[in-house]
Structure 1
Amino acid sequence: MEGRRLYAPNDWMYVGRTMYILIHGISAETYFPDVLKLPREKLELLQLGWRASDEGELDGRPFMNTTRPWQVFAWTAARYGELYIRVDSVNLTREGASVMVRLKANSWRQRWSKAEAIDLVASHLRRGEWMPLLTMWLGDGKAERKKVLRGDYKIVIAAKEPWRLGSSKSTRRALVATGKEAFVKLREAAGIYGVLLDRLRAHKWVNIKLATDDNFKAVFKQKGIVTVEGVAMHLHLVSGSLLAEHYTCDIGKALEIADKLKAAGLRPNVVKSGPNYVVYIATADLLRLAERDEAIRKAIALYLTEKAK
């Protein structure tokens, strides 16, 4: 990718908002084991939340469309058994590529309509049962990590009729709960399912951990930060290019940092961004630094791994 151009060996194509490349003939039938070993009533609570969000119905069976690998396994664990899988398309955006996977759980009959499932999630929540809300949030919840990192804890779920779940944050969003305690309840409700989400490194589960574990949050905040000539810089992937940036509201400080980086043989840039000045170094300089600095190399690898999820 370069800007909005996607390059192929002998040509390129322009990528707008999202480009879909349909794929035909890639499908399989398989069996997914019961990895959770939950009692039927607990398993149904997980299923209920998925049905209230991303899960649909096809030929009377539960089905799921997703571009997120972790959702494939998180949903299938709740709908184990005979499974039909089809790779449907490759989706191209300016941020990269993803694969749309369609799954149908042939061992299960769909028991609830979408509206029934949403009402049941709300009913369980009123009685203090948070497990259905957990999987509903994993499906349609808003993963607002920046807000979580600054301590703004809100469970917001996209819904056509938000009033069914809680107060309407907008015409398409329901504010279900607020505060750290709400995320604590989600984490406690997960039980063994949380172990699976942890192994899958589900980004929404990471948000729950950030909201409930101060030590985890402190360590996490250091991700994506590299130190270059004593200057803390934040990694930033934009349009396929990796930058290291330092923000300051003081132009004198920005120029001082730029001079320091130049003295080290780097090629920094200084640009204005709102009320701040940004000193940044581009991909080529970062790669040269990574070749000789193991800490920077590891930080870049970890950052790119997180971005790929």
Structure 2
Amino acid sequence: MLEQVSTRGVLRGPVDWVFPAWIAYVEYATQRIAETFQLTEEERRQLFDFRDAMKQLLLEAWRQAKEKLASIYKAVVNNTYRIENNKLYIPDGVGMYVREGFAPHVPIYGISAETYFPDVLKLPRERLEPLQLGWRASDEGNNDGRPFMRTTQPWQVFAWTAARYGALYIRVDSVNLTREGASMEVVIKAKSWKQRWSKAEAMDLVASHLRRGEWMPLLTMWLGDGKAERSEVLSGEYKLVVAAKEPWRLGSSIGTRKALVATGKEAFERLRESAGAYGELLDLLRAHKWIEIKLATDDGFRAAYKLKARKRGNRRA
């Protein structure tokens, strides 16, 4: 489970593996946060209540996903399905969305909860806002004036909520089906915060901060929409590439909707230096994009990683 998180971020596999893996990760992450950060008793209670709410959602979504997939299978075997308007219908209703060019996904209904995530970072507002800004420039959306996050990556649940702590609304949205297996998508709405920026405004502000030598907003933007190429980093090619609809706002356009923001090892060093306490959180979360930064900037870490990879390859051989 941790290996998948640290190499590609997403937990993907059989349904009966994916949901237990998410549950195990939630338990792992909350325990490590409780051990690493100085929390009051009330904050610890809030953290573990968040854990329990997430686990309950995942258990309920797991049951619904299995039932739906069984119904879809039965309908296909019995030829009692039809496809209309990018939807696969079964006798029970809509079984799956099958839009061309996108992974088929099974909607999950009615699995939601309201909970609370404590302020674990204890950052002053002037340090917290750049983190929020980068997330808004990338994965964060706007839902009725409130920030929200949609993700299939469990580490992002914690990395984002740490920057948008407080009252939360969480729901399990869907199960996505790919050749590599199923993945699960959650949606989180930060009810304690108002959305201050449009996507374009946030991107312009990230670029403005960067011109002033302030890298923290770019860090969280890269955690959201950065293109992580571990093989390039391991071979000494250091390129900070971010996906963007308007790449010219950030840097040189390369390919379709990609911006080359910076090159060289120093760029990754600046990202790592900017993280501060947030880096401690990313460390314990085993966030795969943070590991890219460490591989680019820490020679000892990179050497240990390569040695471990060689040993793993020898065992498989």
TM-score (norm 2): 0.68
1:136 aligns with 2:216: no
Map 1:10-89; keep pairs closer than 5 Å: 18-89=103-174
Partner of 2:185: 100
Deviations 1:67-109 (A, max 9, x none): 0000011000000001000000111212122110000000000
- Hey, what does 1:125 align to over in structure 2? 210
| Aligned 1:1-309 pairs, distance under 5 A | 18-226=103-311, 233=313, 244=316
Give the partner amino acid of 2:128. L
Q: Which residue in 2 is equivalent to 1:294?
A: none
- CA, structure 1 residues 9+136, in 2 after alignment: closer, same or farther (shift >3 Å)? closer
Letter matched to residue 150 of structure 1: S
Are the equivalent residues in 2 in contact too, given 1:84–1:104 (CA < 8 A)? yes
Shift of 1:119: 0.2
Return the alpha-carbon distance in structure 2 between the equivalents of residues 41 and 234 of structure 1. Answer: 48
Identity, % of aligned pairs?
A: 73
Structure number with higher strand proportion: 1
| 8 Å Cα contact 1:31/1:83 also seen in 2 | yes
The RMSD of aligned alpha carbons is 2.4
Partner Cα distance (2:239, 2:314) in 1: 26
Q: How far did 1:17 drift?
A: 6.8
Mean alpha-carbon deviation: is it higher for 128-137 or for 160-169? 160-169
Secondary structure of 1:155's aligned partner: strand
Contact 1:17 1:93 (8 Å CA) reproduced: no
> 1:161, 1:171 within 8 Å by CA — same for their partners in 2?
no
More helix as a share of residues: 2
How far apart, CA to CA, are the structure 2 residues paired with 1:165 and 1:226?
40
- The number of equivalent residue pairs is 228
Deviation per residue, 1:24-83 (Å, 9 max, x gap)? 111000111000000001100000000000000001000010000000110000000010
- Bigger Rg, which one: 1
Q: After the TM superposition, list the runs of 4 or more consecutive aligned residues in structure 1 that deviate by more than 2 angstroms.
A: 7-19, 222-227
In the TM superposition, residue 223 of structure 1 has moved relative to its aligned partner by 2.9
Which consecutive unaligned segments of at least 5 residues does structure 2 have? 1-12, 15-65, 78-97
Per-residue CA deviations over 1:252-276 (Å, capped at 9, x if unaligned) read xxxxxxxxxxxxxxxxxxxxxxxxx
Tell me which amino acid in the other structure corresponds to 2:227. K
Structure 1: gaps (5+ residues): 228-232, 236-243, 246-309
Q: Write the distance in 2 (CA, Å) between the matches of 1:17 and 1:65.
A: 16
TM-score (norm 1): 0.69
SS in 2 for 1:221: helix
Alpha-carbon distance in structure 2 between the residues aligned to 1:155 and 1:178:
6
Bigger relative contact order, structure 1 or 2, given CA contacts below 8 A and separation 6+? Answer: 2
